[in-house]
Chains A and B, each alone.
Chain A
Amino acid sequence: MIWELFFQPFADFGFMRRALLGCIAVSVGATPLGVFLMLRRMSLTGDAMAHAILPGAALGYLVAGLSLGAMTVGGLIAGMAVALASGYVTRMTALREDASLAAFYLISLALGVLIISTRGSNVDLMHVLFGSVLALDNAALTLLCAIASLSLIMLALFFRPLVLECADAQFLRSVSRLSALTHFIFLTLVVMNLVGGFHALGTLMAVGIMILPAAAARFWTGRIGTLILFAATIALLSSYSGLLLSYHYSLPTGPAIILVAGGFYIVSLVLGRQGSIVQQARSVRIAEI
């Protein structure tokens, strides 16, 4: 019974094993970045950048069809362009970063949907928007694993400057020239993981596996190391249960995974140990006594 419910789908079907590996790669690579995005109050920036990838991927699609390489390169270029352009606009004009980012990503999203729907079918559009985790080929899997490995290596290398860049950027600038480089590497890693994630979960959902586990973990711990560990664990559990749910109940996989992560978030929001609803209510009661 337990075997059939939890393990047999993966034992019997290669595509399920591939999907699981792809999701593990995305979970491990993306969640630490999600933690930093959240701590820097850039969660919506991640969302905006995920949308911004679309026209790049769409142009890649236009040139080479549903080709992994072309769509990846296109997505990377578009994502970085929007990230840098909105940063530039913020520094050079009166517009705040959130507004300029929103402007750029809305333009990108509309452009992307337009390009795909004029040239491709609705199926293609669905593939780009919602991913195809059950149809990951070798090349896609290699790409996902490579991105995850690179992210972890770069994070390990740049952990101290990155933490300092988040906690006290002014100080980092005063003692080191790494500030701008660190920020750039961080943005690049975010874009890379979003591009990787979009092959598995689609452009709309890729950011979910980045942010939701991080947001959920925040209700359980205040230390950055444990935060990353918790977030990655939640992402892995969500991927695994999402895949199983989608297998047993014939649900679309990407949304199933993200919804499980959403479930973790809601439960943490209510029951978590740090700043959750229950905990806030309790501390108010104590204050009243």
Chain B
Amino acid sequence: MGLVLLGDVIAGCAVSVAVAFENYSLGYNRNPAVMQLQTEIPQGSLTAIVGPNGAGKSTLLKGLTGSLPPLSGQVSFGSLESEDISYLPQQSEVDRSFPISVHELVAMGLWRHVGAFGRIGRSYKHKVQEALAAVGLTGFEKRAIGSLSGGQVQRALFARLLLQDSPLVLLDEPFNAIDANTTADLINVVKRWHGEGRTILAVLHDTEAVKAHFPQTLLLARELVAHGPTAEVLTAENQFRARQMCEACSGPPHTCTIHPS
């Protein structure tokens, strides 16, 4: 097992835990993609999940949403319920040819309040307007989602996340293939969430962005490599080790042995 930097457990009890992994393993068809993860995400932290390709980063988020059951171990969410988690997948399955407007797409973030049958009244419409303004999409309400660029769709999806108003936000490569302006705006949205005390876990590739904006980092290479303050985790040595650990396990057919801890 790798060295685990539990820098987060500063006071041990002063910071309450949003997500706790206990010997948590995830995978497809019995091939583990995440192995024996043992760490805790403090409440209100802004954490980047980084690691080489195939390190199990996206799988980890899928596990957190509950759509992928663990192979072993467990994850607990403290006081959070499953509906307190919002998730933006890497390749969002939004059918952009489907004829709905930006307003309609974004308003669905209010699902918890309006459900399948509730009316979207004036106060909710106002909330949608605010969310659109926060992501810089004011004036796009009536546009069909098919007429938006990739970056604008991502802005709309962030507006929907804003309305979901969840204490725990999971983002899977939210800034992938998106222009610099949009990325900067959306990072500001993420920082705003952080300021509001939400817990945010974001899978990211761009280590420069991580160093600049994410105080905490979880370095994953199927196993946990390091977890703690970004400056302590994203060292050249740790990143080299992560690459080696992933290469050792890659290439089909592979058998990953789970070491007894």
Contacts and interface: CB of A to CB of B under 8 A. Distances in A.
A166 B97 CA distance: 10
Interface stretch (A65-73, A169-177, A204-212, A263-271): A169-177
Contact of B98 (A167, A174, A176): A167
A178 B111 CA distance: 12
B183 interface: no
A interface, how many residues as a size bin? 20 to 34
A39 B98 contact: yes
A168 B144 CA distance: 14
Interface stretch (A74-82, A110-118, A190-198, A219-227): A219-227
Nearest to B86: A174
Interface residues of B, number: 27
Nearest to A173: B67
Interface of A: 39, 157-158, 160-161, 163-164, 166-171, 173-176, 178, 222-224, 227
Contacts of A167: 94-95, 98, 100, 105, 145
A174 B99 contact: no
Interface in B7-43: none
B92 A174 contact: no
A160 B98 contact: no
- Chain A binding site: helix, strand, loop or mixed by DSSP? helix
A161 B116 contact: yes
Contacts of B65: 174
18 contacts: A157-B117, A160-B116, A160-B117, A163-B104, A166-B95, A167-B98, A168-B92, A170-B93, A171-B94, A171-B160, A174-B87, A175-B111, A175-B164, A176-B111, A222-B146, A223-B99, A224-B99, A224-B100
B89 A170 contact: yes
Contact of B112 (A161, A164, A170, A175): A175
A77 B13 CA distance: 60
A227 B100 CA distance: 12
Contacts of A157: 117
B152 to A, nearest CB: 16
B99 A175 contact: no
Contacts of A224: 99-100
Contact of A176 (B92, B93, B116): B116
A167 B115 CA distance: 16
B206 interface: no
B83 interface: yes
The residue in A166, A171, A176, A223 that gathers the most chain B C-beta atoms within 10 A of its C-beta is A171
A164 B108 contact: yes
A42 B92 CA distance: 20
The residue in A157, A166, A175 that gathers the most chain B C-beta atoms within 10 A of its C-beta is A175
A218 to B, nearest CB: 9
Contact of A227 (B89, B99, B105, B146): B99
Contacts of B67: 173
Nearest to B116: A161
B92 to A, nearest CB: 7
Contacts of A175: 83, 108, 111-112, 164
Contacts of B115: 176
Nearest to A166: B98
A166 B67 CA distance: 19
B105 A168 contact: yes
A167 B146 CA distance: 11
The residue in A39, A157, A160, A169 that gathers the most chain B C-beta atoms within 10 A of its C-beta is A160
A57 B148 CA distance: 47
A222 B96 CA distance: 12
A209 B12 CA distance: 67
Q: Which 9 A-B pairs have the closest CB atoms?
A: A167-B98, A175-B111, A170-B93, A168-B94, A222-B99, A161-B116, A224-B99, A160-B116, A167-B95
A160 B111 CA distance: 10
Given A39-B99, A167-B98, 7 more contacts: A39-B95, A164-B108, A170-B92, A170-B93, A171-B93, A223-B99, A227-B99
Interface in B101-142: 104-105, 108, 111-112, 115-117
A223 B116 CA distance: 20
Nearest to B67: A173
A166 B100 CA distance: 10
Given A157-B117, A161-B116, A178-B116, A171 B108 contact: yes
A163 B100 contact: yes
Contacts of B117: 157, 160
Nearest to B111: A175
Contacts of B83: 175
